[in-house]
Structure 1
């Protein structure tokens, strides 16, 4: 669209699309560290398990406003650097600041007066960094997706390929991030990270985030230098389509955003519904995956021995396996959607996700009835079963990271929505369920004994229902027909 019209006409080479998508590797590296290490770490700082999910509330809240606002603004941005790149660069800079605040929260808390195990100032610094990280993630994600959509234009097949590349780099970032989180020796490699306020586990986390800053800087540079955007004010003089899009976006943002829901077509409403239920399923897992491994498989607790931390590291290893599977599946998504239809692929993957969550509940039940071994570690069979479930969940996660965005992108085009605004609308279907889960999962789990099983049971039910809706309500032949025409 607009500034990318000329590039679209030239059919941007797939190699360049691959390089542009690489920014998701750096972003996802930090996200992987956040998912695997920060729920356990915030409990080490002193926030109870029942309220740890509230720390994650900023992600969906900022996504509710920030990502649609950034998407809308980037659609209209007239910067000489292009529409999307200024937001991607700014978001990456904020991520770097945020992860350094998180990594050094214990040290900064000590400087400001914390002592012993009472660390309210460290918690405050951590929360500020955590919330800034979530805001920055939401700043960068929408424009990154929209940039790929700009470069592929109305070529629906290439749009799916570009989103598959994005998902592939997310998988690579996950693999690197979870591998980093599962390694316990970073404090030896980077000894300066260990201080009187920051012990071995804290130093490992700090080292991991320093590596995140390095990787994010490299991938952001590759992506931004590969994307050739024409400033929007130039495109206004060369294309009428963008002028039409711009004129439809002149009204104030928030009420215009929500008012646009009246004009969405039935297939888009189905996509939003399935997306919302899908994330009701995913978010409890993303919140508590490594905590589940530490508490319910290794039967440990934060600040009480090493079992919990061993479980957290094993959970990070399981998430690394998950990401390897995610990357492999990402390469086959376009072919699967072309053969069976995106709705069927998405629906089956969500039902598989529900089966995996039920499997986690069964493993928890079996583990709770086993007597602890002399070493205090769980039996190998329980650990292997847990890792298998984590790995298999990479299949539906790959679909979640790719198919909804591609479907939304292609179906929003006839409505003359900018791609940034379209991604913002889809993001509302992601963040509203996350708000509900963030507020309710901790107290809900506490009501039933403090474990993670109730949240996972609700996740399994939501995933199963979303799968059925996708299979029954999302059109299949229409997608295949469009793909054939474009080819």
Structure 2
């Protein structure tokens, strides 16, 4: 007898997804203001990408660990909710400290802590939708998450501008001091994040491990991922290790930009992880979390492997936008690089409004995208939305009046809403419930790796190819969106 997950009411799904709005509140404050904080504390424009590396690197480490642990957790608060609870508390504390950073390196450290705690909270939210909803409701669940992400980010991104223009809070300060409008925005964000996540924690129920196991027996379409075969870790270990070591040697010998150390070190670290897994496999010491995660990376479902390329190009574009939009708009549209000037801070505030706008359009797009999927299919819908994002980013170079930059935010909003929902909707139907968390964590690799690559090479590309003009980073991001749209066509969907 088939036992299927029961459908949940709209308000049950609403409560389950509401906490994501709080997470995005903190995430949006980070995206819209961290580059501004770094510049205020003395960072040069070509130093910003490497300072941002803390965020994706933390996600790369934290998400698969939390995913694996949450798959194995069951306590008084359930399976995923303990991670919401404790992650929200630490994130709130980080949001309160971040705008009071006295030095650049303190701010970089707080970004690391903030992103780690956000990842602890965010990863299980993705898995919770797969745990609690039947296949027919998962697209709705992820779209509702996108809706809340949009609403939360609208308010969070525009908070400094709102405080400055509506409540007469100063948006300028002495050199090396973060403006009060940014400080108060982070305080408000911390409180909002804590309340909304706790709402989900205490209003949402989870299925027991026994119930989830019964549901999974009915999901005959899932690929089998039991550990029946040995994986040849040695081949990819040798390739990644040699390339990584060569990059490090060349950077040292030729005195190349130090950002390339990050790329080389990442490849060497990947080789070392495979080496440990190879040793464990030889010793038959495979019943542990480390081996399970590495093994699952190499045996991921086919659709997940194909979606990895879509995510790679999409998130490279997003990271380019988050890092460089403030510098691009203030230098290209407001003609200033003086972080203490009113023009710079007006431009930085306007970027916050633009980020709020694209998140607002994303909230609306989240309501439209399910209709598009029914009309033209999920793959074509995602490809079209990525193309809209590409046109929007490239148009920054051709728009002179900053007030007209609001128009491209429509395209960015559709791309953002699509990225946050459709890849997960395509992926979740291929994942077994027992490994939903760890696979969602591994899927995050293909969000993090392009961000690390962007942190390694974007600054170098701008410095050597575009006279350090950040506007070209947005053009590069637009091209990457196009490549993501092409990659969507290769994804084979489960019926």
TM over 0.5: yes
> What is the CA–CA distance in structure 1 between the aligned matches of 2:335 and 2:147, rounded to whole Å?
34
**2:108 aligns to what?**
127
**SS in structure 1 at match of 2:335:** coil
**2:63 aligns to what?**
67
Q: Does structure 2 retain, via aligned residues, the 8 Å contact 1:300–1:306?
A: no
**1:433 aligns to what?**
450
Deviation per residue, 1:214-244 (Å, 9 max, x gap) = 1112211211112112554x659978859x9
Measure how far apart 1:420 and its partner are. Answer: 0.8
> What is the CA–CA distance in structure 1 between the aligned matches of 2:208 and 2:172, rounded to whole Å?
47
Which segments of 5 or more consecutive residues in structure 2 lack a partner in the other structure? 229-285
Measure how far apart 1:33 and its partner are. Answer: 1.3
**1:379 aligns to what?**
none
Q: Does structure 2 retain, via aligned residues, the 8 Å contact 1:43–1:302?
A: no
Determine whether 1:175 maps to 2:154.
yes
Corresponding pairs, count: 432
**2:192 aligns to what?**
215
Q: Decide whether aligned partners of structure 1 residues 196 and 56 sit closer, same or farther in structure 2, where only a CA change above 3 A counts.
A: closer
**1:456 aligns to what?**
474
> What is the CA–CA distance in structure 1 between the aligned matches of 2:175 and 2:40, rounded to whole Å?
13
**2:370 aligns to what?**
334
**1:310 aligns to what?**
346
Determine whether 1:467 maps to 2:485.
yes
Pick the aligned partner of 1:389 from 408, 431, 448: 408
Q: Does structure 2 retain, via aligned residues, the 8 Å contact 1:164–1:331?
A: yes
**SS in structure 2 at match of 1:332:** helix
Q: Decide whether aligned partners of structure 1 residues 95 and 197 sit closer, same or farther in structure 2, where only a CA change above 3 A counts.
A: farther
Q: Does structure 2 retain, via aligned residues, the 8 Å contact 1:182–1:316?
A: yes
> What is the CA–CA distance in structure 2 between the aligned matches of 1:246 and 1:80, rounded to whole Å?
29
**2:263 aligns to what?**
none
- Aligned pairs for 1:292-311 within 5 A: 292-311=328-347
Deviation per residue, 1:63-111 (Å, 9 max, x gap) = 1110111011101112221110011111111111111121221xxx3xx
Q: Does structure 2 retain, via aligned residues, the 8 Å contact 1:351–1:467?
A: yes
Q: Does structure 2 retain, via aligned residues, the 8 Å contact 1:319–1:391?
A: no
Deviation per residue, 1:312-352 (Å, 9 max, x gap) = 11111112221121001101222222321111111111122
Pick the aligned partner of 2:424 from 401, 405, 408: 405
Q: Which deviates more, 334-343 or 45-54?
A: 334-343
> What is the CA–CA distance in structure 2 between the aligned matches of 1:214 and 1:168, rounded to whole Å?
20
**2:241 aligns to what?**
none
**1:158 aligns to what?**
137
Measure how far apart 1:254 and its partner are. Answer: 3.6
> What is the CA–CA distance in structure 1 between the aligned matches of 2:475 and 2:375, rounded to whole Å?
32
Q: Decide whether aligned partners of structure 1 residues 266 and 251 sit closer, same or farther in structure 2, where only a CA change above 3 A counts.
A: same
> What is the CA–CA distance in structure 2 between the aligned matches of 1:420 and 1:231, rounded to whole Å?
15
Which segments of 5 or more consecutive residues in structure 1 lack a partner in the other structure? 110-121, 368-381, 483-487
Measure how far apart 1:188 and its partner are. Answer: 6.0
- Aligned pairs for 1:17-416 within 5 A: 17-105=13-101, 109=102, 122-152=103-133, 155-185=134-164, 202-230=179-207, 232=209, 251-363=287-399, 367=400, 382-413=401-432
Q: Does structure 1 retain, via aligned residues, the 8 Å contact 2:175–2:340?
A: no
RMSD: 3.0
Q: Does structure 1 retain, via aligned residues, the 8 Å contact 2:135–2:429?
A: yes
> What is the CA–CA distance in structure 1 between the aligned matches of 2:395 and 2:76, rounded to whole Å?
52
Q: Does structure 2 retain, via aligned residues, the 8 Å contact 1:275–1:430?
A: yes
> What is the CA–CA distance in structure 2 between the aligned matches of 1:344 and 1:70, rounded to whole Å?
32
Q: Does structure 2 retain, via aligned residues, the 8 Å contact 1:171–1:324?
A: yes
Deviation per residue, 1:158-208 (Å, 9 max, x gap) = 0000000100000001111122032353896779x9999985x52111100
Determine whether 1:12 maps to 2:5.
no
> What is the CA–CA distance in structure 1 between the aligned matches of 2:7 and 2:302, rounded to whole Å?
31
**1:375 aligns to what?**
none
Q: Decide whether aligned partners of structure 1 residues 304 and 9 sit closer, same or farther in structure 2, where only a CA change above 3 A counts.
A: closer
> What is the CA–CA distance in structure 2 between the aligned matches of 1:49 and 1:422, rounded to whole Å?
36
Measure how far apart 1:401 and its partner are. Answer: 0.8
Deviation per residue, 1:243-299 (Å, 9 max, x gap) = x99987983334432322443343322111111111112210121222221121111
**SS in structure 2 at match of 1:444:** helix
Measure how far apart 1:303 and its partner are. Answer: 2.8
Q: Decide whether aligned partners of structure 1 residues 304 and 449 sit closer, same or farther in structure 2, where only a CA change above 3 A counts.
A: farther
TM-score (norm 2): 0.80
